[in-house]
């Protein structure tokens, strides 16, 4: 840490990297030949309520490997911030967890109370960059038709009934498409569906040993229609 200053805008901590060598990210060879310096301004977690800025002084090195494609490189500080990031790693982690729990607008309002930066778009962008969770292998599924807009071509949505979340969106609602998906997922033993003939044929072809049941919503719907018809 070089200097600390307190202004109306918050606290500014001027810091610098002290390690003597740095490794080239391309050839991974260490180098001590400094070409130049520059500062990265990082937003950090606030101290109480005042926001904190970290102007971080980093060095650009000459690569010591003669045939390396990267002639110069900037030292990395992954324990402080990711490459080209404008926030520290711990502030980024807090923004991600807040965005996952509260979403964009609500998460931004929650961060603004203690003086932490993070707009609605920033939180949503960080959540979208998260790696997709490992897909489970559902044993009980529900299938039904869906469409982005009413009256347009419909597809088929496959829902994991055990976890209560969608697992697949099929391009259409034909028996062949449903059967092909079920053949690729032999672990499915229960299928909840409506009374559409295409779904019945698709399940019979793709998972003949699976138990087919009518889901609760369609049972109530068909019962209402039968009562009204009487």
Q: Residues 12-56: pLDDT tens digits?
A: 999 998 888 888 988 989 998 899 988 999 999 998 888 899 999
Of 71, 100, 131, the residue that ends a domain is 131
Same domain, 169 and 108: no
What is the total count of domains within the chain? 3
Same domain, 68 and 95: no
Same domain, 33 and 60: yes
Give the confidence band of 157 by pLDDT, cuts at 50, 70, 90: very high
Same domain, 161 and 204: yes
Same domain, 32 and 76: yes
Of 131, 163, 193, the residue that ends a domain is 131
Take residue 37 and report the two structure tokens written for it.
């310096």
Structural contact between residues 91 and 44, judged by C-beta atoms closer than 8 angstroms: yes
Q: Which residues form the domain of 47?
A: 1-86
Structural contact between residues 41 and 7, judged by C-beta atoms closer than 8 angstroms: no
Same domain, 23 and 81: yes
Same domain, 120 and 181: no
Structural contact between residues 1 and 9, judged by C-beta atoms closer than 8 angstroms: no
36 vs 72: CA distance, rounded Å: 10
β-strands 211-214, 190-193 pairing? parallel
Give the confidence band of 152 by pLDDT, cuts at 50, 70, 90: confident
Same domain, 99 and 166: no
β-strands 190-193, 165-170 pairing? unpaired
Same domain, 165 and 225: yes
Averaged pLDDT score across all residues of the chain? 89
Same domain, 57 and 82: yes
Same domain, 203 and 216: yes
Of 77, 98, 131, the residue that ends a domain is 131
Same domain, 65 and 1: yes
């Amino acid at each position: 840490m070089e200097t600390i200053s307190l202004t109306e805008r918050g606290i500014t901590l001027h810091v610098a990297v002290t390690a003597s060598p740095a490794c080239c990210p391309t050839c991974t060879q260490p180098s001590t030949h400094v070409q130049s310096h520059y500062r990265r301004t990082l937003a950090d977690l606030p101290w109480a309520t005042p926001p904190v800025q970290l102007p971080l002084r980093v060095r650009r090195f000459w690569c010591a490997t003669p045939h390396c494609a990267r002639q110069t490189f900037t030292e990395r500080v992954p324990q402080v911030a990711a490459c080209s990031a404008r926030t520290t790693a711990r502030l980024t982690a807090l923004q991600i967890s807040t965005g996952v729990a509260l979403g964009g607008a609500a998460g931004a309002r929650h961060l603004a109370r203690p003086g932490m930066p993070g707009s609605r778009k920033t939180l949503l962008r960080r959540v979208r960059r998260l790696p997709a969770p490992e897909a489970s292998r559902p044993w009980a599924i529900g299938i039904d038709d869906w469409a982005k807009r009413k009256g347009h071509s419909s597809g088929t949505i496959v829902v994991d009934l055990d976890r209560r979340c969608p697992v697949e969106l099929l391009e259409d609602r034909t028996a062949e498409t449903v059967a092909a998906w079920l053949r690729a997922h032999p672990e499915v033993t229960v299928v909840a569906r409506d009374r559409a003939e295409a779904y019945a044929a698709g399940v019979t072809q793709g998972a003949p040993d699976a138990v087919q049941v009518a889901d609760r919503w369609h049972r109530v719907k068909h019962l209402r229609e039968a009562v009204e018809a009487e």
